[in-house]
């Protein structure tokens, strides 16, 4: 078992980062119930490995990576794809501007394989660089580039080439 000091450190980490990690899991899973399951599983694994991690910075990166790899593993099980319910009603009202496009884009994002979705979320929600995204996904920078390229290509093919999906920010692609 973890000793009391370990448990207290983990509790502090989990309490402070729970919300951000849940939002990341939700963007990957696209559904609240699955996001809860993903986060629960990831936090259990982080707790088990807490003595190794120590630094909360490492712990957050580790937990995100577990969320990602677990999502990918679950995605391979057809049950996730077959049984996931529709759950695209946000808790609070969305702006009128571009509402239709955003609802549509959200649905299209949910259809992407989780590795592509993870690459997009890490790059364009977490604002990680390609190098950081590669570290988070445990793959090469080249793989990140191809995952992002493929994902954006699919989305553009559905939405139209004239729509600006993303504006690259300076220094984001080193």
Partner 1 sequence: MNELLRDTLAEHADSAEPPALDLDGIVAAGDRRISRRRAIAVLGGAVVTLAAIAGGVTVARSIDRRPAPATPAPFAERRATYAIGSQIHYGKDVISVAPYRVSAFVQTDAGFVFLDDENDIYVAGTAGVRRIAPGRGTRRLTADSHGSLVGWVEDYTDRSESVVYDVAADRELVRTSIGNKRGPLLDAVMGPQLVAIDGDTAYFGTLTGIYRWDLKAGTAKLVADTLPNGVRGVSSGQYLYQRPLSHATSGTSLAVGPAPSDSGGRTFPGRQGYLSPTADYLVAGPADNQRAQPAAAVLALYKVKTGAKLQLRHPDHSRLIFGQWLDDSTFSAVGIRAGRNAPVDLLTCSAINLTCQVSAAAFSTFTFDPTPPRDLPFAVPLGAPITQYFG
By CB under 8 A, how many residues form the interface with partner 1? 57
Q: How far is the CB of 76 from partner 1 (least distance, A)?
A: 7
- 145 belongs to the binding site for partner 1 (CB under 8 A): no
Binds partner 1 (CB under 8 A): choice among 141, 165, 172, 173: 165
- 74 belongs to the binding site for partner 1 (CB under 8 A): yes
Q: What H or E segment, with its residue span, contains residue 106?
A: helix 99-111
Q: Taking CB under 8 A as the rule, which mask of x and - marks residues 30-59 in contact with partner 1? A: --x--xx---x--xxx-xx-----------
Query: Of the two residues 83 and 174, which places its CB atom closer to partner 1 in the complex?
Result: 83
Question: Which position has the token pair 């949910």?
Answer: 110
Of the candidates 52, 47, 60, 55, the one whose C-alpha atom is nearest the C-alpha of residue 17 is 60
User: Distance (Å, rounded) from C-alpha 56 to C-alpha 12?
Assistant: 9
Q: Taking CB under 8 A as the rule, which mask of x and - marks residues 120-139 in contact with partner 1? A: xx--xx------------x-
Query: Mind giving me the DSSP string for 135-168?
Result: HHHTS-HHHHHHHHHHHHHHHHHHH-TTS----P
The CB-side HSE value for 118 (13 A sphere, CA atoms) comes to 25
Residues 1-30 that bind partner 1 (CB under 8 A): 1-2, 7, 10-11, 14-15, 18-19, 22-24, 26-27
Q: Specify whether the CB–CB gap between 114 and 31 falls below 8 A.
A: no
Q: How far is the CB of 105 from partner 1 (least distance, A)?
A: 5
Q: How far is the CB of 34 from partner 1 (least distance, A)?
A: 11
């Amino acid at each position: 078992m973890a000793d009391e000091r370990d448990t207290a450190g983990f509790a502090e980490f989990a309490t402070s980062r729970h919300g951000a990690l849940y939002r990341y899991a939700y963007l990957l899973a696209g559904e609240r119930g699955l996001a809860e399951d993903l986060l629960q599983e990831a936090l259990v694994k982080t707790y088990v490995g807490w003595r190794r991690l120590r630094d909360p910075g490492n712990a957050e990166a580790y937990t995100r990576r577990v969320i990602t790899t677990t999502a990918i593993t679950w995605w391979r099980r057809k049950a996730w794809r077959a049984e996931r319910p529709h759950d695209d009603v946000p808790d609070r009202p969305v702006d009128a501007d571009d509402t239709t496009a955003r609802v549509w884009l959200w649905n299209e994002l949910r259809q992407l394989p989780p590795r592509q979705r993870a690459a997009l979320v890490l790059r364009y929600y977490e604002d990680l660089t390609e190098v950081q995204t590669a570290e988070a996904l445990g793959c090469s920078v080249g793989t990140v580039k191809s995952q992002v390229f493929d994902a954006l290509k699919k989305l553009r093919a559905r939405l139209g080439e004239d729509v600006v999906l993303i504006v690259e920010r300076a220094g984001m692609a080193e």
